[in-house]
Amino acid sequence: MLLTALVISALVFVGALNATFPLRRTKLKVPSYLVGWITQELYWAAILLEAGLLYGVGSRQWPTTSAMFLPFVLLAAGTLLLNLLFCVNMNLMHARVGRAITSSVQMPLVMPRRRDDRHGSWWRTALMLSPHPRSMRLDKDVVYGPAERNRLDVWRGPQDLKDAPVLFFIHGGAWIVGDKREQGRPLLHELLQHGYVVVTCNYSLSPAAVWPAHIQDVTRALTWVKNTIEEYGGSPDRVVISGMSAGGQLASLAALLGNDTPWRPSDLPVDTDLRVRGCISHYGTLEMTGDDTVWRRHGHGLRKLLSEQVMCVSPTEQPEVYRAASPTYAVHPTAPPFMVIQGSIDSLVDVNVARDFVDRFTHQAVAPIHYLELPLTQHATDLTASPRTSATTRACVAFAHAVTSAPATLPAEILAAYQVPPATLRVDDATGTVDVRVWAERHGGGFVLTAHNPNSVLTDPGVNFRREMQLRRQLDDLGLNYSLSTRVSSSDWPDERGVAITGIDVALARSLSEAWGQHAFYDVSPEAVVVRRSRDAAVIR
């Protein structure tokens, strides 16, 4: 009995140690990941097993003088401590994730409470299962293209929908395996219960298909969503795209490229708007070159996989192919909002890949980005309905709600107050504070916007100041020329500090204004001051 207990404890201890410090630079990387993934997800089973072994050995009153007794006790204690660490980490995740998403100055999110879950429940979390809701309507294997795997599923709740938000989900699997029905169920089911239309798609896989067939299929499926989802009650203007691992790379690339994608199949209509409202990347492979600095010298396996099975070209011979496939290098100022979720000890995608992407996005894009770095978390750990998955699911729900919510309809008196006059715009120019038209004559026009009072809701002065300073830092990062401005309202609305920017186009001005939660911004020329709506840059009359 004692020898058996010792062997079992040793195996479980090694598994827990591997789950804490996974191997990353050897040929055992993938087996190490699999063992670590199972160990972390089944921490409760390891605790019960070790407790049972301790009880069994103790109940038989084995003599403490046995040479095996002390090693057994030490291994059992180590196993229990490591697995209790996993347990505590899992159950603290809700608070950690909540702090991460509420700390954003630009777009703070409200973390849903556990009681607000519509599909996730205590018994599903305890069983680590996420079965389809009984009331779910499923349209299976809808054809969206000519290839064999050009099939998608549409998930809907029992209610009749109209203009509902849409989640378009792309599975992972290293571009060589995977299926649209295998991944992301806790998140997809929760959004389904919140009134979303969910679309999941298959796409061509390697080695039978060579890059860029994968992203071409995703582009084709997104085109189908944009042109057809109204028939299922969804809104083509309220689409959030998401994916896991390789799917995170594909989703991020599609979101960043939008209508500028070079991979739009030639048989698709060119006038379909492929822009999305936001992107959620779960442990996505956001850098595809395997750069040693970004991957911290863990990218050899990725380069080998891509060169031999996916790209079928060497990264040294055609580096531009790998770089073009990397979302990291596709970040641009008008990119949509992002949420990036990454485990800190991911064996397959180094955590620094996500950190590098977030850093580039923060300094190159104007939209908000939320980064959830999950401590002691491996790759693909949200396949099961664990407490950690419940926490990240709630964060994703909050993000999806924020980016797809319709802007408030403002009363006529507030719309009228935007006009100049009755409002007054003044700019701090080199010679002092001048009227905005004088500033426009000197600089050839520009745009005036603010970060104060998002969504036309009066905000604490301290919060407004922090938002103003963050906006100015963002403009500095982008290398834009701006002056400080003040909007003085003729009504009881307080003065709003903002910025007057030159050298940008209306698309970037619109993105900035929308990113900072504003209903409108000013398009200023020496001849006129025009009020434009942030949502679409249309003129407000």
Active site residues: 245, 346, 379
Backbone φ, ψ for residue 434 (5° rounding): -130, 165
Number of other residues whose CB lies within 10 A of the CB of residue 430: 7
Separation CA 531–CA 508 (nearest Å): 15
DSSP 85-144: HHHHHHHHHHHHHHHHHH--SSS--PPPPGGG-SS--HHHHHHT--PPPTT-EEEEEEE-
- Closest Cα partner for 125 from 170, 84, 94? 94
Q: For residue 366, what are the CA distances in angstroms to 336, 476, 506, 512, 514?
A: 9, 11, 14, 6, 9
Query: Where do the DSSP E strands lie in 350-495?
Result: 369-374, 424-429, 432-435, 446-450, 481-488
- Closest Cα partner for 38 from 305, 301, 386? 386
Separation CA 275–CA 334 (nearest Å): 11
Strands 278-282 and 496-502: unpaired
Query: Where do the DSSP E strands lie in 105-254?
Result: 137-143, 151-156, 164-170, 197-201, 234-244
Which tokens is 250 given? Answer: 């594909």
Size of the chain, expressed as the number of residues it contains: 541
Element (H, E) at 530: strand 529-533
CB distance 280 to 400 below 8 Å: yes
Q: For residue 401, what are the CA distances in angstroms to 38, 234, 258, 387, 397?
A: 32, 14, 21, 21, 6
Report CA dihedral (450, 454, 458, 462) to the nearest 10 degrees.
-70
Which tokens is 416 given? Answer: 């009228």
Element (H, E) at 497: strand 496-502
Element (H, E) at 540: none
- Closest Cα partner for 6 from 63, 65, 54, 64? 54
Residue with the two structure tokens 């949420």: 339
Is the bond leading into 422 cis (omega within 30 degrees of zero)? yes
Separation CA 289–CA 322 (nearest Å): 5
What is the DSSP secondary structure assignment for residue 177, as one 8-state letter? S
CB distance 69 to 2 below 8 Å: yes
